[in-house]
Amino acid sequence: MPRKKEFGETWWGKRWISVLESFGWDTRLSRGRTYARTGHVVEIRLEPGRVTAKVQGTRPRPYRVVIEIKPLNGRDWDKVAGAMAGRAVFAARLLAGEMPQEIEEAFSEVRLSLFPKAAREIKTSCSCPDWANPCKHVAAVYYVLGQKFDADPFLLFLLRGRTREQLIEALREKRSSLAQKEPVTEALPETKTTGPPLDKELDHFWDAGEELDGLIFDPEIPAVDAVLLKRLGPPPFWREKEDPAALLAGCYRAVSRRTLEEWGN
């Protein structure tokens, strides 16, 4: 038996569905879930603060659904970007295209919310004759949105008024600004090295030596692939269409796996 289509399989997709269910729409949402699973949502489009969709009902022509959630303004997004940039792990994961588990904390820190906090924050309309809100057509779109968010968490930010590119650019600027404000450590005094001439040590140049016997290494595969490339963005000389981080991520993973294999031996 094929598995039923689920909506909200990631933590952020589940959060979207749980927020809607907390508004007391259980019966209506249940009917909409059935519509969503059976493919009645035939078209869906997202833009800042607005979702438009077509849902096939009992009539030949699909019903037109509109869902509106007020986007955050520029000043609010600047506060959110600052809160995100202040936590290195948030910036790293977002720049790597991932959604940090505690992302809502960044919004709460500046007294804002990524998800709607009350039913009144969502405005909907449907061309069907059902007077209830949400009707099953609107509810179906809610669930398909959960599936869309599963596939691309940045659509949540788009619904709140920022594209992926805008958010990443803001994070890079904030992180760069923070780096410039960090105190500069004093340079170490110049020291003279002593030892035998290099040409006398060529046969032993790559030997670790007794000085390194006490060092302990514990290599791990990084949580985010190619995080430095993703944080810095393409280098100035890059002329290819594809992101260099996407091209090199596989190489980094292969190097990490080989390192662990060699270390285990």
Is pLDDT above 50 for 57? yes
Distance CA 171, CA 109 (A): 16
**Is 51:145 a contact under the CB 8 Å cutoff?**
yes
Q: Which of 52, 71, 67, 44 is nearest to 167 (CA)?
A: 71
Residue 56: closest CA among 73, 43, 70, 74: 43
What SS3 class is residue 163?
Answer: coil
Instruction: Lowest mean pLDDT of 75-79, 138-142, 193-197, 247-251, name the range.
Output: 193-197
Answering whether pTM is above 0.75, one says no
pLDDT, position 179? 66
Least confident of 61-70, 84-93, 136-145, 200-209: 200-209
Higher pLDDT, 86 or 126: 126
Indicate the residue type of 65: V
More confident residue, 211 or 9: 9
- The residue with greater pLDDT, 182 or 223, is 223
Poorest-confidence range of 35-44, 139-148, 166-175, 208-217?
208-217
166 or 185, which is more confident? 166
Residue bearing the bigger pLDDT, 100 or 231: 100
Please answer whether residues 95 and 227 qualify as being in contact, where contact means their C-beta atoms are separated by less than 8 angstroms.
yes
| Per-residue pLDDT at 1 | 44
Token reading at 116: 């709607």
- Our measurement of the distance from residue 52's CA atom to the centroid of its chain's CA atoms, rounded to an integer in Å, reads 23
Number of other residues whose CB lies within 10 A of the CB of residue 255? 12
pLDDT band for position 46 (cuts 50, 70, 90): very high
Supply the mean pLDDT for the chain.
Answer: 81
Q: Is pLDDT above 90 for 53?
A: yes
Instruction: Decide if pLDDT at 3 tops 50.
Output: no
Q: What is the CA radius of gyration of the chain?
A: 26
Band of residue 264 on the pLDDT scale cut at 50, 70, 90:
low
Mean of pLDDT values over 126-138: 90
**What's residue 208's pLDDT?**
67
| Contact (CB, 8 A) for 57 and 40 | yes
Mean pLDDT score, 217-233: 68
pLDDT of residue 130: 87
